Structure 1
Amino acid sequence: MIEWSETELLIRDAIREFVDKEIRPHLDALESGTLPPYDIIRKMFASFGIDALARESVSKLLSKERGSGGGGLAFGGQEAMALIAVSELAGVSLGIVASLGVSIGLTAQTILTKGTQAQKERWLPGLATFEKVGAWAITEPDSGSDAFGGMKTSVRRDGDEYVLNGQKTFITNGPYADTIIVYAKLDDGSDVRDREVLTFVLDKGMPGLTQGKPFKKMGMMSSPTGELFFSDVRLGRDRLLGESESGRDGDSKAEVKSGFAVERIGVAALALGIINECHRLCVDYAKNRKLWGQEIGRFQLIQLKLAKMEVARINVQNMVFQLIETLRAGKMPTLAEASAMKLYSSEAATEVAMEAVQLFGGNGYMAEYRVEQLARDAKSLMIYAGSNEIQVTHIAKGLLGR
């Protein structure tokens, strides 16, 4: 794949029209954190018929599984459309994409992958159509990049139930989520770092569950992020994903790593959206902003900045094109490959966005011109889905076969 097809360009233009009409007018409220993004996402789903398609897809999947015990949701040739949508949204409001991606891409996908038939019937329909907002909770205050080893949230058996205690932080959608995936270590008396990690599904309003208020953040303010607190939350076995502690449906570490890979390949599309928007704004500004009687685009230093932006745009776009071809072939990038994509694209987006602020000069530092928002959002990509320092480790381990 070397370019977008005519159909894909039409899809892109339709998304841009929605963005201009339904998102840009609300950017100040979104970026201040006073307007959660969920109603806008639902309106987008309704406008493009995504909710109806999701409802039909989940219905067919569940019906097939009832009859044969097998089945799954495939990409269905929609890889390009999904990545175009993600990219276009990221260029105007990265937080909207984060909230959407965590709810659909992590929460729903985890239930789809690990859940029993009854669990899929119970939670997937609401999540797939975005009637329900999902959260995926693994990060803790003291664990950082040591997500498993440093995990302190625990569950203990109590008869036929489990009792959950602990705390999660930096949880996207955490303050408002209706359905929450929680990872916790089974308190079985073994060494804490070696304990099995189990996966549970919680619902908003359960006794002992407290959803903290949204954090104030440097960027991605349109995506509510907060803490979750668990105090003797009683969980029936029906909330243990797979309803089994051992075997394929037990220990969750391999499944979490797969989720990390999905997040990281998505960062390339997010970065492309930010780069495209910075590129567009800077080219327009260079053509129209005048100093000493001429457009600043005539100055070589400005031209150098624009040229480097174009190189970054081409590189990251080609990375996305390769990803689409990989997915169409029915393959997934390895964790090391996903980490490499995340590392490069997030650094490229951050560099482009910071250069955009510099190109705009004093105006670039003002919220009115939006490049300062793009710079703040781009920086988050170097931390989101695992810090870039951790990506280096995963890439090296992949190369060294460790």
Structure 2
Amino acid sequence: MYEWSDTDLMFRDALRGFIDKEVRPHVDELESGALPPFDIIRKLYSTFGLADMAREGLEKSLARERGDAPSGEKSSAFSGAGSMGVVLNSELAGVSLGLVASLGVSLGLAAGTIRSRGTLAQKERWLPGLVTFETVGAWAITEPDSGSDAFGGMKSYVRRDGDDYILNGNKTFITNGPYADVMIVYAKLDEGDASVDRRDRKVLAFILDKGMEGLTQSPPFKKMGMNSSPTGELFFDNVRITKDRLLGETEDSGKSDGKSSAKESFAAERIGIASLSLGIINECHRLSIEYAKSRKLWGREIGQFQLIQLKLAEMEVARINVQNMVFNAIERTAAGDKVSLAEASAMKLYSSRAATEVAMEAVQLFGGNGYMAEYRVEQLARDAKSLMIYAGSNEIQVTHIAKGLLG
């Protein structure tokens, strides 16, 4: 059975010290949107040497791809799928979920898509800044009229213009969108053939940079939760895209297939939701136990009352279940055993629901205090709810799970 290693636990303890010093004092600023999360993330990278690890790992990976290094040499890249990455995500999620969302989208989705689908030239051009968080990435597929019908309902389109493409449309609910330096954007290829149903048209992926003519990044939205992560819209008005920005640089390589690329990212993102859920459950659990020991009614600690004990016990059951899901994903990733989209959807469905139930029960346990922002379980409840919608609503997860079961 998998357990946290001594190294994981040492990293966790050091990370908690960093969070207490550098994150908790700024939670109100982060939650109000007055303080974007990026400088705190960069300080985290600097403090723990994550930027150096990422840079070294990328250099080794690119050297192997160029044929300049032995194929068996392993890189030291810091991966969110490994145990230390899970520790990082879960510990941050319990204090400021938006920090992890901004980090995960930039590193996992934007950089991850270029890693898996980009050409060597594209990796050399965009990854050095992304993997070290010197530049911020966004991943843009959702549109106002698409939502869970991400491909069929997509209206953003590109048309060929010589060797270039012209992009029009808009994307919404884009994490890091207002501030992103690099954006992975998905769009339908419109060749002017009216006989081809819009829903069935090819989807291509492109790499855009901040400041391109015709690209507009909206200010951040105001949201219910996950407020430390800026979310916004992207607008495209005849954005000219050269072929070196087409993911894979050719439509025929398979790498530019937007649907296939996005589905890979969906699975990774949904597995990551389990780590975030675990962080929220752990923090709600910790705060609830502390409160149950300190709050007194009728001359007794409320932890002595059976209904309070029931709430704590059910939180512990949820914590164990979600942690076991996370452990399973760590083991399988390390073994090279790919987690299917259906399995990832099952992890996302269960863990996000568990985190939301635990957080709401924590609010109830705190009573009137739980409804006050001062006690933080209020924030955790709002953040947890976002996980039931983020990375695909829980309703669409049911569809993916059923498709996996029925074949």
Say whether the fold is shared (TM-score over 0.5): yes
Give matches, 1:1-400, under 5 Å: 1-67=1-67, 79-188=82-191, 189=193, 190-400=196-406
Which residue identity lines up with residue 66 of structure 2 in the other structure? R
**Structure 2: distance between partners of 1:364 and 1:76:** 37
Once the two structures are superposed, residues 56-82 of structure 1 have per-residue CA deviations (whole angstroms, 9 ceiling, x without a partner) of: 111122222222699797878971111
Structure 1 runs of 4+ off > 3 angstroms? 68-78
**Structure 1: distance between partners of 2:209 and 2:272:** 27
Larger deviation, residues 180-189 vs 73-82 = 73-82
**Structure 2: distance between partners of 1:97 and 1:70:** 34
Once the two structures are superposed, residues 64-104 of structure 1 have per-residue CA deviations (whole angstroms, 9 ceiling, x without a partner) of: 22226997978789711110111100000110000000000
* Structure 1: unaligned runs, 5 residues or longer: none
User: How far does residue 243 in structure 1 lie from its aligned partner after superposition?
Assistant: 0.9
Counterparts in 2 of 1:69 and 1:169: CA distance versus 1, 3 Å? farther
Which residue identity lines up with residue 155 of structure 1 in the other structure? V
Once the two structures are superposed, residues 159-190 of structure 1 have per-residue CA deviations (whole angstroms, 9 ceiling, x without a partner) of: 11110000000000000000000000001123
User: How far does residue 115 in structure 1 lie from its aligned partner after superposition?
Assistant: 1.0
**Structure 2: distance between partners of 1:147 and 1:373:** 29
**Structure 1: distance between partners of 2:374 and 2:138:** 32
User: How far does residue 158 in structure 1 lie from its aligned partner after superposition?
Assistant: 0.6
Once the two structures are superposed, residues 137-167 of structure 1 have per-residue CA deviations (whole angstroms, 9 ceiling, x without a partner) of: 0000000100000000000001111100000
User: How far does residue 209 in structure 1 lie from its aligned partner after superposition?
Assistant: 0.3
TM-score, normalising length from structure 2? 0.96
**Structure 1: distance between partners of 2:332 and 2:120:** 30
User: How far does residue 247 in structure 1 lie from its aligned partner after superposition?
Assistant: 3.5
**Structure 2: distance between partners of 1:171 and 1:70:** 39
**Structure 2: distance between partners of 1:288 and 1:96:** 30
**Structure 2: distance between partners of 1:11 and 1:278:** 21
**Structure 2: distance between partners of 1:74 and 1:385:** 28
Counterparts in 2 of 1:163 and 1:70: CA distance versus 1, 3 Å? farther
* Structure 2: unaligned runs, 5 residues or longer: none
Which residue identity lines up with residue 203 of structure 2 in the other structure? V
SS at match of 2:380: helix
Identity %: 72
Which residue identity lines up with residue 308 of structure 2 in the other structure? I
**Root mean square deviation, CA, Å:** 1.6
User: How far does residue 215 in structure 1 lie from its aligned partner after superposition?
Assistant: 0.3
User: How far does residue 2 in structure 1 lie from its aligned partner after superposition?
Assistant: 3.9
**Structure 2: distance between partners of 1:307 and 1:347:** 17
User: How far does residue 292 in structure 1 lie from its aligned partner after superposition?
Assistant: 1.0
Counterparts in 2 of 1:322 and 1:218: CA distance versus 1, 3 Å? same
Contact 2:94–2:380 under 8 Å retained in 1: yes
- Aligned length in residues: 401
Contact 2:54–2:78 under 8 Å retained in 1: no
**Structure 1: distance between partners of 2:31 and 2:205:** 32
